[in-house]
Every structure is written in structure tokens, then in C-alpha cells.
Structure 1
């Protein structure tokens, strides 16, 4: 009797298994969970992220104070209530006292009230500059990312030239062109500096969208180019740009303070601004450093809040850096 062929034995085993009725109900089941959008998934991580919560708390407090500043300020920020205590020879700066916990400045005005009201002007400059920079960046980014070719090359070369100049130097140069410094010269100068950042980021996102499946399907169906750009490419490319705007807002506040410190901001100190207060305090920095410390701390903490919140948003929305 010839030995049994291993191949025949394996074939016979497979046939037996196919012919038998195998029960697989006890093999286990997988719980079905509903799909979660990117925003909902990011929010689940953000609400458990202490870094984001700290940044959001600082940012929310700053915005709240800026909105209600005129109602919570103890005194009129331009009223010289302590002018009778100002003596150029012995005591040019009134110290802390009842009703004036931080004292006054060299003109007898309440320092605490000026810090509180100054938050509104700082927020206004930062938000306005960021929005204008975002608008300009969107226009250039859409032109470069949607059309490509010569348009893309021209726009990107202009963006490269702007990025080759240090941001603060470019902002100072633009602000210095104005005949008379004002709040709007600071806003425009900072906005121009931020335009190439948004333009390059949006252009990169849109180039990635051009080769995506849904864009290729829309082109195959004969959808107009304008509809593809504004209904498919732009909305799906705005995520990184919105996250970047939170980071840019922090740098805008710092740049605005720097321009005001250099004397290129609003010369009218009836409406205080933190950078402006820093510039006015430099002549008393050795004997009365608190005049510069208080507005500097406000700028640092607010910029820190926006930075922490922006970095957390970037990590939550970026699949490559999710923790």
C-alpha cells in the first residue's frame, strides 16, 4: 500500500471543513461606533489638554477685560487725578495709595486704569492687523494655488521677497512711510508683514487639494473651475490657516507693542495702549521700573495665551502630530 500523499490529505481536510457547518457566532463581535468629524475629534482632545485650557483661559480673560474695560476701570485713564503729587525734582511718579493700587504715571494718571483700558486698544490692533493680513494672504494664496503656472510663480516670488526681510524691520519701514504716526499705520504695517505667511500656507494646502479625489471627480463631472475652487478647494484648505491666525495674533500684539515703543504708533495717549505705555516709561526705567514692568507683563501673558492655544490647535488638527 502506497504511503498517503500529504497534498491529498490537505485537500481532503479542506473539503471536510467546507462541507461541515461551522458555527462562528461565538467568535466575538465588534461594537459599531458612529463616525466622528475632524473638528469633533480635535475638540475631544483639546478639552482634556491642560495647555489648551490654560491658553484659552488667558485669552478669554483678556478678551473679556478688553470688552468691559470702560466699565471696570476705577478712573478715567486720561484724568490727572494725582497731578498735585507730581514733582519733577523729588517725586515725579506717585506711588501706590488708597484708590490707586498701582500708583500713577508722570502725568498723575491712574496706572491701573490705563492698563485696563489699554487692553482694548491692544486687542483692536492685534485683531485688525491679523484680519487684514489674513484677507490679503487669502487673495494671494487662492490665486497661486488655484491657477498655478505663471500666476503661481509670480505670486510666490513676491512672497519670497517679503519673507526675506525680517518682519519687524519690514513693519518699521512701512510704518515710517506715513506722514503722521497713528493707530492705523501700525495696523497696516503689521498686516502687510503677515500677508506672505498666510499666502504661502494657503497655497500649499490648495496644491494638496488639487490632486485630491473629490477635486478630480468634480473636474471629471464638468464642474466649473470657480465652483471647484470656492466650494471644494478653499473650504478644505482653511484649517491650517485658521490655526495659524491664532499664532499670528500673538506676534501681531508683540509687533504692535514694538512699533508703539519706537514711537511709530498713535501719538495721542488719551487712549492708552500697552506698547505706547512701554515707550513712555523708558525715561523712568531705572528709578521707576514698574511703569514698564506692568505693561510688559500684560503683553507677555496675552501673547503666551494665544501661543499656547494656537499650538494646541495645531497639534489637535494635524494627524502627524497627534498625541
Structure 2
């Protein structure tokens, strides 16, 4: 037998021997086992923000996005010159075989018509923001409508909506957007917005439908049904608000895709034909005619598109990982 004392064994034996007498309970104190500090609960948003503000990827994306939005909103006042006006200082050196480069007052030089290239890039930020935001909002509205119908009611409604969504997803997004934009009698900014929004609808619908199906089996929805709450109140007060989180996060990623698609449609000549309203995709398409001799005319709008799309993508991916319990570290 081991002669060494065992304090744990002695306490267990003491509790077992006096379990029925009621005398040993007073001698045993819970405080002897230690205390757990009450730190309080933390909401999902607060927990996500605590991670995001330490994430350099999110901060980089947020800085790019904020700068782009501010530049787009203040472009009429920030642009050093009128982006639609042909500048006399540039026209004097503009010839069919020569496009003026950087000059005093014109850091990026001229475009093919003698207009300030820097001012047109700044003005194009507003058009890009308008197309990206409106296309995302319209696509979000359509996706929420279809996703709510499919996820809330199920049955033949769910099957019908999902088959439509599957058909739309089976077509490459850019090809579908080009086909829709080409149906318009005259290309315009709104045809681009409608075409891109239509492409984004099935993405939001499928995501929202999956979230709502998970909500249908949750405890609070089952409790609401047991209490006799109407179907409409269950859908719009319980299921839909709790399913919108992933959809809102996805919208930041879709915004980057919308900017790229808008630039692609304008590059192909399906955007706004009014050259007085600069747009990065249209500027890039026009610059391809001068790509060998003046590559900077294509480089600057292409760089703007890439950097802005990268900013939204970095911010959206970081936000998705911060809000997704499976991705938390």
C-alpha cells in the first residue's frame, strides 16, 4: 500500500461516508475549487469589429474603399479641370500623330481629344460608383425577393424559383450581362445597371434561401409557430432579419464584381455612348487604339479599376471571415 497521503482521496471518502448524514455538506465549500471571473457577454458585431480593426487586410481594403467613395462624391470639386472641355494648352501640341504627355498643370497629360486625363479619371470615379452601387442594390432587391419566396414557403414555389436560379447560374455572368445589355435599343448607363443587376440576382437569391432554410428549423421559429404566430409575421419578423447577415456581407464582394462587369460592358461599347461623361471602362476601350504608342492611356484607367475592385474584395473577404463562426481564429 502506498504510505503517502492523498488529500483528494480523503475528501472523496469523507463525502461518501457522510452523504446521508447532512453534516459534511456544511464543511465543504465551493470556494475551495476556485472562482470563475464574470466577464460578461460580447455581441457578434462587437466581436467581429475587435478582430477587423487588427486585420491589416481589412484596413487596407477599407482605406482604398473610403478613398474611392470620397473621390467619387467630391469629384466635381477635386478635378483640377473640366473633364469634358478641350484644353487650349494641350490642343496646341495635339496632332494626329502626337498626344501631349505630362505638362505644367496637367500631371498625366492629355487624352486623344486634348482633354485633361487626370480630370477624366477623377470624373470617371463617380460614374463607376453609380453603376456599381445601383447594380448591387437592384440585384440585392431581386435576390431578396426570390430568396424569401423560396426559403419561406418551400414546396413547388421553392422548386420553381431554384430552377430559374439554376438556369441563370448556368450561363457565364459576363455573357449573360452582354446578352441583356445588347437587347436594349440604345446603350446607356441604365442598360448597364440593369444587365449587371440581373446577373447578381441569382447569387443573392441562392444565399438567402439557404440561410432561411436554416432558420425554418430554429427554436425561435418553432416556438413562434407553436404560439400561433401568422406565417407572414414569422417570415418578416423572425426568419428574414436573422438571414440577412451573410447576404449583406456578400454585397460587398458583389460590388467589386459589378465594377468589373460595368467596365467590361463599357469596354465592349455597350455602356453610355455619351463621351462627355467619362467612365473608366469606356476610357480603356478607347485607349486600345493607341496602346502601342501611348500605353499610359490604357494603363491609368485599368489601374483604377483593379485597385478599386481589390479594395472592395479585401474588405468583403475580411468581413465574411470575421462574421463566419467557422472561419474565426
Q: Which moved more, 1:132-141 or 1:20-29?
A: 20-29
- CA shift for structure 1 position 25: 2.5
- Which residues in structure 2 correspond to 1:96-111 (within 5 Å)? 96-111=102-117
Q: Which moved more, 1:27-36 or 1:198-207?
A: 27-36
- CA shift for structure 1 position 27: 2.7
Partner SS state of residue 92, structure 2: helix
Residue 14 of structure 1 corresponds to 16
Within 1, Cα distance between the matches of 2:167 and 2:111? 43
Within 1, Cα distance between the matches of 2:250 and 2:14? 65
User: Structure 1 residue 33 and structure 2 residue 39: aligned?
Assistant: yes
Within 1, Cα distance between the matches of 2:148 and 2:14? 66
Within 2, Cα distance between the matches of 1:41 and 1:12? 45
Within 2, Cα distance between the matches of 1:26 and 1:216? 43
Within 2, Cα distance between the matches of 1:299 and 1:201? 27
- CA shift for structure 1 position 302: 0.4
Partner SS state of residue 19, structure 1: coil
User: Structure 1 residue 306 and structure 2 residue 312: aligned?
Assistant: yes
Check 1:23–1:190 CA distance in 2 against 1; reply closer, same or farther (3 A cut).
same
Within 2, Cα distance between the matches of 1:253 and 1:148? 34
Which structure 1 segments of 5+ residues have no match? Answer: 1-9
Within 2, Cα distance between the matches of 1:63 and 1:13? 69
Within 1, Cα distance between the matches of 2:40 and 2:57? 28
- Which residues in structure 2 correspond to 1:275-314 (within 5 Å)? 275-314=281-320
**How many residue pairs end up in the alignment?**
312
- CA shift for structure 1 position 181: 0.5
Within 1, Cα distance between the matches of 2:271 and 2:93? 29
Pairing partner for 1:83 from 88, 91, 106: 91
TM-score (norm 2): 0.93
- CA shift for structure 1 position 11: 7.1
Check 1:219–1:13 CA distance in 2 against 1; reply closer, same or farther (3 A cut).
closer
Residue 121 of structure 2 corresponds to 115
Partner SS state of residue 287, structure 1: coil
Partner SS state of residue 104, structure 1: coil
User: Structure 1 residue 247 and structure 2 residue 249: aligned?
Assistant: no
- CA shift for structure 1 position 12: 7.3
Partner SS state of residue 310, structure 2: helix
Residue 174 of structure 2 corresponds to 168
- Which residues in structure 2 correspond to 1:83-232 (within 5 Å)? 83-89=91-97, 91=98, 93-232=99-238
TM-score (norm 1): 0.94
Which structure 2 segments of 5+ residues have no match? Answer: 1-11
- CA shift for structure 1 position 261: 0.2
Deviation string for 1:163-217 (max 9, x for gaps)?
0000000000000001110000000000000000000000000000000000000
Deviation string for 1:265-285 (max 9, x for gaps)?
001010101001001101001
Within 2, Cα distance between the matches of 1:59 and 1:246? 10
Partner SS state of residue 85, structure 1: coil
Check 1:244–1:19 CA distance in 2 against 1; reply closer, same or farther (3 A cut).
same
Deviation string for 1:137-180 (max 9, x for gaps)?
00000000011000000000000000000000000000000111
Residue 7 of structure 2 corresponds to none
Pairing partner for 1:49 from 51, 55, 59: 55
Partner SS state of residue 74, structure 2: helix
